[in-house]
Structure 1
């Protein structure tokens, strides 16, 4: 029997195939693994990333949607909210509930209502508006502040 995570991810994949969203494409890395997706994001207009194509892997845990996926760019990207190894650091990808460090509200963190589409749209928004307050890549945050 397919798990709730499998069924939900299959539905989201089907929806994205039927109704593609401007700004990105997504599909499975391997047809036999619904838990690992390949995502290509088109650099948003009026940003340093405009016109670029950025590839990432989205990996879902077996208890999705109760826990968030991880997203890691496989393309090189220099951004305050992307770790040097490519992992994306945004609030909606942080575990649900209160932030042990007190930086984020529970409402800003992962919630099971998020979908592949809402996650990728949040990443596109992150590319347009970096959060320098809580950088994953301090060097990129410092240079980004100098560019502003």
Structure 2
């Protein structure tokens, strides 16, 4: 379907994303900005998540741990994810993929996070989002993570990445959906 194609990584995106194991130019403007944002997060941690590098030699791949928001089904969880930044960050958004199991309408079954703030800037060819809801270069890792935490607390069922989770969330939020999320929370605590 057209919606599914929008989640596939284009050849251009693959070409501009630094590859795992590749040496990174730590003096590139994007690398300097990411190093500054990481230092700021370490100096002044933000409630709800922690962040660090997957590999000290690659500023473009971060591991984040999202704490399940209080008073939500995700409370008590410690969900690990990878943020992969393009070499032209902040002109283009990073990709975020949970490596902890996640059952949520806005997280694809493969773990990819689907929220407006992580979508390429400009017009949405499907008409779901306004340009100002999509990626803007003023966003930071902090604003991304706050949006992800908000997404956990308040899913967007109108534009799901996981149709099965969205259906369960709409039809039986305190039944099957709640049980599957509880299983994800337990597993995240064991990782």
TM-score bracket relative to the smaller structure: over 0.9
Whether 2:137 is the aligned partner of 1:127: answer no
Distance in 1 separating the partners of 2:40 and 2:59: 14
Which of 46, 49, 52 is the aligned partner of 2:71? Answer: 46
Match of 1:117 among 122, 142, 147: 142
* Greater Cα radius of gyration, structure 1 or 2: 2
Q: Which of 62, 66, 76 is 1:37 aligned to?
A: 62
Higher helix share: 2
In structure 2, how many angstroms separate the alpha carbons of the residues matched to 1:15 and 1:53?
22
Which of 34, 38, 54 is matched with 1:9 structurally?
Answer: 34
User: For 1:135 and 1:115, how far apart are their aligned partners in 2?
Assistant: 24
The aligned residue for residue 145 of structure 1 is 170
Q: 1:102 deviation in Å?
A: 1.1
Partner of 1:71: 96
TM-score by length of 1: 0.98
TM-score (norm 2): 0.76
Name segments (4+ residues, structure 1) moved above 2 Å: none
Question: Does residue 44 of structure 2 align to residue 23 of structure 1?
Answer: no
Distance 2:105 2:128 in 1: 16
Unaligned runs of 5+ in 1: none
Q: Can you give the 5+ residue segments of structure 2 that lack an aligned partner in the other structure? A: 1-24, 175-191
